[in-house]
Each structure stands twice: as structure tokens, then as C-alpha cells.
Amino acid sequence: MRGLALRLAGQTEIPIEFWGWSGETVFEARPPHSVLMLRRVPMPEYRGGWVFAQLAMRRRAQRSKVRAVHITDPNALTTIGNRKVLSTVYDLIPLREGQGSHRAIARAGYRFYLTALKKTGTLFAISNQTAVDLVDLLHIAGERIRIARPGVDLPPSTGRSAPPSRPYFLFIGGPNPNKNLATLLDAMKLCTELPEELLIAGHWLPKQADALNARVADGLSSRVRHIGFVPAGELADLMRDATALVVPSLMEGFGLPVAEGLAAGALVLHSRLPVLEETSAGAALTFEPAAAAELAACLRQASGDAALASSLRQRGLERAKELTWDAAVATTLASYRAVLES
């Protein structure tokens, strides 16, 4: 939500105190705004991070006199004395899947988060899908929910050290079941005639990467590579230069890779989910999430139909121009006014 914070810092109607971590990306706010930073202590990467995040929120609250707090980090959502709390909600995918994490401490953290959402006064949902899930799954009253869709902020390109040696399809994400990498791998097995390899970008833990490599060893070892975390300054180039960016998700809260891919000038292929179709608005090739054969047909189109690919890339760039932060900023400020006046 850095994009939202930067735009909120540009208005002067409502003074905002921005909370964050010192020593990370520089964030400046001019009067009437201010910045309150804490030094980040080492935290577990996946287990128990929510405990530290909430302790940090309380430490900041002790140093602050603000009347209301807008929390954008799910791990940090908690009550803060008698202050009014607002929160951004990205998705309820673990709840929709009927499970949290296999680690007990992570499950405890997620249960705490769901309980905190029910107690939070104003919730900013990043899509219609997330808003519907808040009502249907948590039984939260619709009048407490505001739609605040993210805009697209691609960092400036820093260039890439070496261009790829062969054409490629690109998948960005982790091993989460909702990302549906398995269907994409099955589709790759159906497209042995294509010259493209599949690059998988994203930070995976060693055991997760080992499990991927074991699966890839079954007929895909020469056509699939896990390239790990990609720095932000290299991401746009990686997406644009791909034959296609593939987003085969089973569930999403918004689908940021789709929006970023369009903005980068990539040809985007995504599963036929309402939340993703809402973002691409017809500027992408789509397929049923569980249909490997249908995805394989899209991969063949992307690889073999240059005219179609060029047309969709251009339509994607035009669509991306409409994916701004303007509506989210207006909605956020209106909610701030209402909270401060109540």
C-alpha cells in the first residue's frame, strides 16, 4: 500500500501520521503530515510474525496521539486502546479454502486476524470479491465495507544483466494452492512443440523449492526453471519480454500480477475469475482455472499468433492507464473524515 500512502501524503486536508519501519525504503511526508518509524527487530519469516507486528503497533501507539489508525498489514491488525481502527483487507483466501497454514502458530495468527476484522469499524476491500467474502464468510455488515481498488505502480526499470537465452512464459508467485501452478505445469506438458521454457519467479523456502524441483523432474526438467526472487526494478522488463505472463489462479483478492503485467506491456493469460476479468477488462487471454488443455491452447496462441499478441499488449497498456489510485484515495479520505467527525 505504499502507492496509497504516497498519494495520501500529497493531500493537505487531513493531517496523517505515517507509521513504518526505519532503515527500509525512504518515506518522506511534509507538513501537515509526519512520520513515526520504529527499528525493525528480526522476525520469523513465516511463523509468528504476527505477534511481533502487533507488539510493534502497540509500541507506536504509545508514542502517538492520533485518534484513529488505518492498518494495512494483516499481521498488525489489533485493537489499540480506545482509538478507532480501520483496516485494508486483501483477501480471505485461506478461509475460502477451509484451511489456514499447516503450522499451528500461523493458524493461531490467522484466527486472531479474522476475529480482529470483525471488531474493526471500517474495512477497505481491494475488490468486489473481497467485499463479498467479508459479508458471506465473516457476516460483516456491508455498511462497514468500502471498495478501494489498488492502482498500478511499476517501479522504474533498472535493466537486466543478461537477456534470457530462449523465449519464455512467466509465472510470478509462491507455492500457495490458490496460485494453481500445477495446472500450468500440466499445460506445459501438453505443449512440447513450443520453444518456450517456463520461468517461475518468487521467493520460495528451500523445502518448497525442493518439492517443485521433484515435480519438474517428471518430464519438465529442461523446460521449467525456478529463478527465485526478482528485484522490483527488473520485474517490468521480465514481464514485458515474456511470450506471456500466466496467472492461473483458482482464487484471488485482486490479482496484482495481472494489473502489473498489463502496465508493463506484457501479453497476459489469466484464469477466468470475475476478480481477474474485472482487472483485465478484455485485454487478456482467459481460460478455465482447472482446464490444462484450455490453458495449453492459450499458450499456443501466445507463442504462434504475433498479431493477436501485439493487439492484446496494446489493449493492456490502455487498460492499465485506467487502473489508478484516484478512487481509492477519495474513498479513503472520505472514510477518514467520517471517523474523525463521529
Instruction: Collect the ranges in the chain with pLDDT lower than 70.
Output: 24, 41-48, 99-106, 160-163
Q: What is the pLDDT of residues 244-293, one digit of tens each?
A: 999 999 999 998 999 999 999 999 999 999 999 999 999 999 999 999 99
- For residue 146, the surrounding DSSP H or E stretch is strand 145-147
Please give the domain boundaries of the chain with CATH numbers for all domains: 2-151+324-341 (3.40.50.2000), 168-320 (3.40.50.2000)
Dump the DSSP string for 223-237.
Answer: TEEEEE---HHHHHH
Phi-psi region of 318 (alpha: psi -120 to 50; beta: other; left: phi over 0): alpha
Q: Classify 1 as helix, strand or coil.
A: coil
**What does the pLDDT read at residue 310?**
98
**What does the pLDDT read at residue 218?**
74
Compute the distance between CA of residue 74 and CA of residue 90 in angstroms, rounded to an integer.
8
Dump the DSSP string for 82-106.
Answer: T-EEEEEE---HHHHTT---SSHHH
Strand order in the sheet with 268-271: 224-228, 197-201, 168-172, 244-247, 268-271, 285-287
Dump the DSSP string for 206-259.
Answer: HHHHHHHHHHHTTT-TTTEEEEE---HHHHHHHHHHSSEEEE--S--SS-HHHH
pTM score of the predicted model: 0.89
Number of residues that this document lists for the chain: 342
Place of cell 486483501: 90
